[in-house]
Structure 1
Amino acid sequence: MHEAVLGIEHPGAYSSATAGTDTTVELWCNDHCDLLHVGGSEAESVVAHVEDAVGVRERIAEGDERLLITDACLKEHGDDPIEATLAEHDCLLVPPLRYAEGRKWCRVLALDAGNLTAFYRDVSAEFPVVVDSKREVASVRADRPLLTLDSALPDLSPRQHEALLTAVEMGYYRIPRDATTAEVAGKLGVERRTFEEHLRRAENKVVAGLAQYL
């Protein structure tokens, strides 16, 4: 089997709501409604978009995190050409769907590499597509199918990911440190306090996400 994670600039209520923000939306479809996890500093703004698009039946809020059950399924509010293209090329969409940076991020699985290539070709002919990763799936665990390190780690916003990765690359976590927060912030072109806030949120998510496996 072959897998690819693609970021598709497909216009939609959830993807457009994340454009220009550090907020992400994860979606599990249940036909009659959707289960959503919304995270980021502008979560409430995204939730307002969701309410306008499909309505919100129930919610739990904690800090910058929101867990929502919608009134209706997003599928009921328009056809999705991407799903039709998936079926055409015998590809599977592995949940959850993820929306970030104005894109719909799809984890696509195909039994044949040619089918995956054909799906990418047809979708990229209609929409701008970013390839985040691709791999051959050689084995799975029965209790956690298709588990990867990416799926075990928490979902970071683009700014949090950039802050953490740049800090690592510049030696901020080396002992002794090769860079200060001010130097890393300068590399990113942001204020020190802004960088420290993104880094602190990223560290908190990573530590909390991995603690259950320790």
Structure 2
Amino acid sequence: MSLYEASFRLKHECPYRKISERYPDLTIREWYLSDCQVLEITSAEAPTDELLAGIERIGTVLHEPTDDSGLHVVTQSCLCSLEGSILERFEEHNCLYQPPTIHRQGWEHYTVIAFDEADVKALFRDLETDRDIELLSKTAITEQGIPHSMLAPVDQLFEGLTDRQLAALQLALERGYYEQPRGTSLRELASRTSVARSTYEEHLRKAENKLVANAGTYLRLVTTGTEADPLGTDRSDRPEQRAD
């Protein structure tokens, strides 16, 4: 199986287009979280008061420059001000978004990973309908592992897990339940909570199932290029036969 890594830039109206056009030395790196975004804004030039005021309008400042040697500001903003549909369009075409998005000189720079070149082409045709877009690179990645720069967003790995499921998973991990040999049992874990053993086990199993399902796409990336079938797996649909 081959992977395809495509990098491209596009222009459309977004909250950071004007500021990145106005200050061409500015670089904005954008990470999406479940309910907000984090921006790292850098420049080799010392910031003006006007630029700092513009940055404060973007969102809550988490880190500010401490000297006049350059600019390094980190902000947090609400996702409600963003057009999130482009990430959904990546998913529609089976393309994995590789953060961060980089804003520079009015352009948004993206990198995606796909399992089929046709998916990349379909994505570009879709985006060309309402955006100015330029392909920067498209590379076939064959017989090698996942690119080192490809990181699974934490919020996607834990998407769909409830607070109780996360708490059950954290307790099991902290008490050594996943060690070999196990450092604890389900009965002992449940005794540390206010719920019955069956309830605790249900929370834990659902958490495990959701976590594995969420990681499934990234598992395909990690195993691409490894030995064809190191376990010699029988993938037939017949149920395993056991001796009585």
Q: 1:25 to 1:46 in 2, by over 3 A?
A: farther
Give the SS at the match of 1:126. coil
Contact 2:7 2:138 in 1 (8 A): yes
- The partner residue of 2:54 within 49, 53, 65 is 49
What is the Cα deviation at residue 53 of structure 1? Answer: 2.7
What is the Cα deviation at residue 9 of structure 1? Answer: 0.0
Displaced runs of 4+ in structure 1, greater than 6 A? none
Give the SS at the match of 1:137. strand
What is the Cα deviation at residue 127 of structure 1? Answer: 0.5
Aligned residues, how many? 144
Structure exhibiting the larger radius of gyration computed from Cα positions: 2
Q: Within 5 Å, which residues of 2 pair with 1:10-89?
A: 10-20=12-22, 21-31=24-34, 32-41=36-45, 43-44=47-48, 47-61=52-66, 63-70=69-76, 72-73=77-78, 75-89=79-93
Give the SS at the match of 1:13. coil
Q: Which residue of 2 aligns with 1:98?
A: 102
Contact 2:20 2:104 in 1 (8 A): yes
Kindly provide the amino acid, as one letter, of the partner of residue 110 in structure 2. C
1: distance between equivalents of 2:86 and 2:61? 25
What is the Cα deviation at residue 25 of structure 1? Answer: 1.0
Which segment is superposed worse, 100-109 or 20-29? 20-29
Contact 1:61 1:67 in 2 (8 A): no
Q: Within 5 Å, which residues of 2 pair with 1:122-141?
A: 122-138=126-142, 139-140=144-145
Contact 1:14 1:49 in 2 (8 A): no
Q: Deviations over 1:124-172 (max 9, x none)?
A: 1110001111111222368x3559xxxxxxxxxxxxxxxxxxxxxxxxx
Q: 1:50 to 1:112 in 2, by over 3 A?
A: farther
Which residues of structure 1 form unaligned runs of 5+?
148-214
Q: Which residue of 2 aligns with 1:188?
A: none
TM-score, length basis structure 2: 0.52
- Give aligned-pair identity as a percent: 20
TM-score, length basis structure 1: 0.58
Q: 1:10 to 1:48 in 2, by over 3 A?
A: farther
Q: Does 1:112 align with 2:112?
A: no
Q: 1:33 to 1:78 in 2, by over 3 A?
A: closer
Q: 1:40 to 1:29 in 2, by over 3 A?
A: farther
Contact 1:7 1:132 in 2 (8 A): yes
2: distance between equivalents of 1:105 and 1:35? 14
2: distance between equivalents of 1:115 and 1:123? 12
Q: 1:120 to 1:43 in 2, by over 3 A?
A: farther
2: distance between equivalents of 1:27 and 1:6? 15
2: distance between equivalents of 1:114 and 1:37? 35
More helix by share: 1
